Structure 1
Amino acid sequence: MSAPVSSSRVGGWLIGARTGRSGPGRAPGRGAETPGSAVRTRRPGRARAWAELLRLPALFTVPGDVLAGAAATSARANSRTLLAIGSSLCLYEAGMALNDWADRTEDAAERPHRPIPSGRIRPAEALTAACALTAAGLTLAARAGRPALAVAAPLAATVWAYDLALKHTPAGPVAMAAARGLDLLLGAAATTGRAREAIPSAALLGTHTLAVTTVSRQETRNGSPLPPLAALAATALLTRLITPRLPAGRGPAAAPGLAGNPASGPIDSDLSPSTTPAPTQITQAAAEAVPRRLVGAAVSAAASRGARGTLRGLRTTPAGRPALMRGPRAATHGLPATRAATHGLPATRAATHGLPATRATTTAGTALRTSATAALRTTLSAAYAATVVRPYFHAALNPSPPLTQRAVGSGIRATIPLQAALAARSGARTGALLVAALAPLGRKFARKVSVT
């Protein structure tokens, strides 16, 4: 009978189920020793042993937590954000070293090739590394400010509690999800001193972590299809929440005064000379906006010159208030064109339809940026769903150890596109692209050092 699953083997706080474990009735996992392998295989060096203990390729799933948290505050990353990333990396690796130290007896029976059971690293060295990395992580968080330390301290406590006490209990997946959520809040607290704005993003990331950790708890035995099905439902919900919602028949960023927004009316490209209002008059709404003193000044100027023709430039509206001419004729009737423009009478054609030229340019630029962000969010959301849906479905149909392990591995890899989508959801396109770029790097280094 296999021992309980350790849920921090892959991806640290994310999940880290033990994939590739050797146990009764199973073929040796990747890197497991077989009879005679000690003779055929050269003993790895100390550097590689530490790389295996700390699972260095899994570090690529960590910076995205902090960057997504910083993006949730709508603030630019700064030097404190970098300190938070350093703190997060240290606490993450502390959990890795502590995990192997706590599981050294179990690994001696099931994974004798791991650094501690194989004798390449002594247990005392692993425990010392865990303590030193925890201290370094808290120190970096303190350098980032008191708000960051206030989040890093419970994060470190959660990591130690999980590895030493909660791992094999029903509270294990919840503790793992809490650690990931706190790591995201660390980025927000360090960047701006406020973590509350990042709570929704932390909840979404924690939900993903909870789902994958729950699946990982049955990866060494034939289990129930319910955890993979629950993970599928969680993935569908998360994908729906991080994907931008586009109304039917409209673009993603219809802005006032632009095509596609019926509330703003037509724009210049949709107008023809036959539909353009007469340039010698303005609408009643614009006339209502003209100050009374401006109207009085125009009437006084006309009376002083004794020019009855001047008064023809003022037309009475149904409300009993005069409507002014605009443009050059407005100037000839006692109302300078510049003042007319400042009081709701723009001189450009775009302004005739309620959208000044400069504002139209600004609005168009904003709409373009919004469209780019929406497209990026959609792409990252699709990448997140595509990474995990099929493996979860296969594990639900056949919850055998190999398919369950594959589902867990896919869930770990999906963390990076989810982090990137959360950053894009907050409007941080550059941060989202940086996080997404970590995915291929993680896969590349995982070919050299296993993350399991």
Structure 2
Amino acid sequence: MTTARDIAELVRLPAALSVPGDALAGAAVTGTLGWRTAGLAASSVCLYWAGMALNDYADRELDAVERPERPIPSGRVSPTAALRVAGGLTAAGIGLAAVGGRRAVAVALPLAATVWTYDMLAKPTPLGPVVMAAARSLDVLLGGSAAPRRAVPAALALGAHTAAVTVLSRGEVHGSSPAVARAALATTTAVAAAVAGTGLRRGRTGALGRLASATLAGTYALTVGRAQAAAAASPDAVTVRRATGTGIRGMVPLQAALVAGGGAVATAVGLMAAGPALRAAAKGISPT
């Protein structure tokens, strides 16, 4: 019998704490942070969970060999149930996007299509990291859908980070290579520098916002970069898996840096609380 915990494992429940910051970042940098942002964040979470369920559905035969403890190969969740969960969460995500109006729905639809394309088609191909990065970028644009052009730099920053983490994550089972880990580290450094620089140049942010943005970007670079440097020195599966988990959690300070750079310092501080919560929750249910 499938339990609530089985479903929580299927959708990687704790990892969803890394998702609302996308919508907050998009809204903050476009100056549209408000009550509608909560609905867009909830939409993002639903689509993320849908992607996780769909991931396990698509990988069920591979997981039976490499990760037999996962819900589907262990027999705790049937493939049909996983597909239904993915479909239901996708519909919920698109429906919640309607809170932001037609522009938000216009972003949520291709976002949902990108999630399904990644899991069902692109994941095992060289285009997999690109498609995953596109999904994360669209997630930021969902939050900034009221003025999407202004959200593009933030979307690209989170997209680049996601691509690096996704490429490195391919070595979670059999290990990676020093070159891949070094490339991820270089990407992290470049993204942190770009976000900090953008925050410092924003005239309307104020001194506190600029300082907070630079500090949070540095926090992101230090935490994620340290784990990726360890993977570059020893690219075995355990170290790579640890670096991947750190990269997922590292979304939070990166998002917070963007939010602070958009002038919403209090929101950025509140968002940082998701970091410890994600680490604590990950002890019970793996986010990867």
Please report the TM-score for the alignment, with normalisation by the length of structure 2: 0.93
CA distance in 2, matches of 1:183, 1:233: 23
Matched, 1:239 2:195: no
Residue in 1 aligned with 2:93? 137
Residue in 1 aligned with 2:236? 400
Q: Please tell me whether the aligned partners of residues 116 and 123 of structure 1 are also in contact (alpha carbons under 8 angstroms).
A: yes
Q: Where does structure 1 differ by over 4 angstroms across 4 or more consecutive aligned residues?
A: none
Tell me by how many angstroms 1:245 deviates: 8.4
CA distance in 1, matches of 2:287, 2:81: 20
More helix by share: 2
Tell me by how many angstroms 1:76 deviates: 3.0
CA distance in 1, matches of 2:9, 2:174: 25
CA distance in 1, matches of 2:172, 2:67: 15
Aligned residue identity for 2:213: R
Residue in 1 aligned with 2:156? 203
Residue in 2 aligned with 1:81? 37
CA distance in 2, matches of 1:198, 1:417: 18
Matched, 1:150 2:138: no
Show structure 2 runs of 5+ residues with no match: none
CA distance in 2, matches of 1:56, 1:140: 19
Aligned residue identity for 1:389: G
Tell me by how many angstroms 1:163 deviates: 0.4
Report the CA distance shift for 1:394/1:73 in structure 2 as closer, same or farther (over 3 A). same
Counterparts of residues 3-402 of structure 1 (less than 5 Å): 46-78=3-35, 80-189=36-145, 193-244=146-197, 370-402=206-238
Residue in 2 aligned with 1:411? 247
CA distance in 2, matches of 1:113, 1:245: 43
Q: Please tell me whether the aligned partners of residues 26 and 143 of structure 2 are also in contact (alpha carbons under 8 angstroms).
A: yes
Aligned residue identity for 1:54: V
Q: Please tell me whether the aligned partners of residues 71 and 428 of structure 1 are also in contact (alpha carbons under 8 angstroms).
A: yes
Residue in 2 aligned with 1:440? 276
Tell me by how many angstroms 1:45 deviates: 6.7
Aligned residue identity for 2:18: T
CA distance in 2, matches of 1:143, 1:395: 42
Tell me by how many angstroms 1:421 deviates: 0.3
CA distance in 2, matches of 1:222, 1:100: 20
Q: Please tell me whether the aligned partners of residues 71 and 431 of structure 1 are also in contact (alpha carbons under 8 angstroms).
A: no
RMSD of aligned C-alpha atoms? Answer: 2.1
Aligned residue identity for 2:248: I
CA distance in 2, matches of 1:413, 1:243: 19
Give me the identity figure in percent: 50
Aligned partner of residue 243 in structure 1, secondary structure: helix
Aligned partner of residue 144 in structure 2, secondary structure: helix
Please report the TM-score for the alignment, with normalisation by the length of structure 1: 0.61
Cα deviation code 1:322-376 (max 9, x no counterpart): xxxxxxxxxxxxxxxxxxxxxxxxxxxxxxxxxxxxxxxxxxxx9xx82222221
Q: Please tell me whether the aligned partners of residues 147 and 194 of structure 1 are also in contact (alpha carbons under 8 angstroms).
A: no
Larger-Rg structure:
1
CA distance in 2, matches of 1:149, 1:129: 21
Aligned partner of residue 124 in structure 2, secondary structure: coil
Aligned partner of residue 379 in structure 1, secondary structure: helix
Q: Please tell me whether the aligned partners of residues 64 and 420 of structure 1 are also in contact (alpha carbons under 8 angstroms).
A: yes
Q: Please tell me whether the aligned partners of residues 244 and 374 of structure 1 are also in contact (alpha carbons under 8 angstroms).
A: no
CA distance in 1, matches of 2:9, 2:75: 13
Tell me by how many angstroms 1:55 deviates: 1.1
Tell me by how many angstroms 1:66 deviates: 0.2
Number of residue pairs matched by the alignment: 287
CA distance in 2, matches of 1:215, 1:111: 18
CA distance in 2, matches of 1:81, 1:376: 21
Matched, 1:429 2:265: yes
